[in-house]
Amino acid sequence: MRLTATAAHPPGNAAPDGCRTATLTPTSPKDTMHDHDTSERLASYADVLVGGLPGTWTSSHLQPDEKDDLAELADRIWDLDLIAASLAEHPLQQAAVLSRQDGAQLVLLDRHDGRDGFLIAAIAPRALPDEAYHAVPEPNGIALADDPFLCAEQVAGDLLARYDSTLAQVRHNALGGTQPSQPDRVVLIWQPDGSIATASADDRAGAGLLAHDFVQDPQSGIYRLSGDDTQAQARALREIGPRLDALGIGTALQHPAGRTAPTAAAPPVPPVPANPRTPATRSR
């Protein structure tokens, strides 16, 4: 979990279509129900849920005997509200991990408030420095009713939307950039080693980057274009712009003062002003 701070999304908020978040109570009949039936129900719910989320997702199940993996997962759950409160009372005994092709991950876990359904939260990337999380609000998790078909829409429109925005911000912070990528705009950032990196906020952009020699780090989710061959790098930059533009995604090339882009590359698109909303200060 991402340390302590004031919760940004208080529990008890209504959610659309009958799915609601809920304040947790300290005891529940589910406290001792981590048996075969409960395990199967969690795994089955996760399998249905991933089928209703946008993009390509897979699910995997961590069993109670996988204690080390569960402990590592619990430390990476990106929440300071509903899920953090649950874990404080009920240490993680099993979980389903939902993984998207671009490295984004969610975790589905039991709820202990006497209600049917599950809790779901975002998972923070492994390989980003603490500084990348500075001043970035946690994409706090939510509670789901016992209907994965109905609640997939809630996850996509609420948790996943907030998670994608926050994920792009921390990845961008790790690159030392000032203007994060948005779903309709990719910011390409020069690195000291001559490579170019970006934290794409859109699956479509990620596919385009991979098609033009960018390589995604599976741990951090950051896309990089090597600078070992400057001609190949310039060609990739020249071609990626029109490809993304056809998808309605703009591009911008950001580089340190005194450094210029390869002459063969298309001129950078002027940066769009940053989102005026300033997130609450958080510590990681």
Q: How far apart are CA 196 and CA 253, in angstroms?
A: 9
pLDDT category, 17, cuts 50, 70, 90? very low
pLDDT at 201: 74
Residue that wins the pLDDT comparison between 172 and 279: 172
Beta-bridge partner residues of 97: 60, 107
pLDDT 10s digits, 180-220: 788 888 889 988 889 999 988 777 888 899 999 999 988 88
What residues contact 33, with CB distance under 8 A and at least 6 apart?
Answer: 110
pLDDT category, 6, cuts 50, 70, 90? very low
pLDDT at 210: 92
Structure tokens at 116: 């049917």
pLDDT category, 19, cuts 50, 70, 90? low
pLDDT at 119: 97
Span 66-92, average pLDDT: 95
pTM > 0.85: yes or no: no
pLDDT at 78: 96
Span 3-24, average pLDDT: 39
Q: Among the listed ranges 17-26, 72-81, 104-113, which one has the minimum average pLDDT value? A: 17-26
> At which residue do the structure tokens 């984004």 appear?
104
pLDDT at 145: 95
pLDDT at 24: 39
| Dihedral pair phi/psi, residue 25, rounded to 5° | -105, 155
Domain boundaries, the chain: 16-169, 175-254
pLDDT above 50 for 138:
yes
Q: What is the CATH number of domain 175-254?
A: 3.30.70
- Judge whether 242 and 220 are in contact, CB under 8 Å: no
pLDDT 10s digits, 100-130: 988 899 999 999 888 889 999 999 998 888 8
Closest by alpha carbon to 189, among 181, 177, 180, 200? 177
Residue that wins the pLDDT comparison between 226 and 276: 226
| Distances, alpha carbon 146 to alpha carbons 51, 62, 63, 83, 118, in Å | 16, 20, 21, 17, 7
pLDDT at 264: 38
Span 3-17, average pLDDT: 37
Listed in order, strand segments (DSSP E) in 12-94 are 57-62
pLDDT at 278: 37
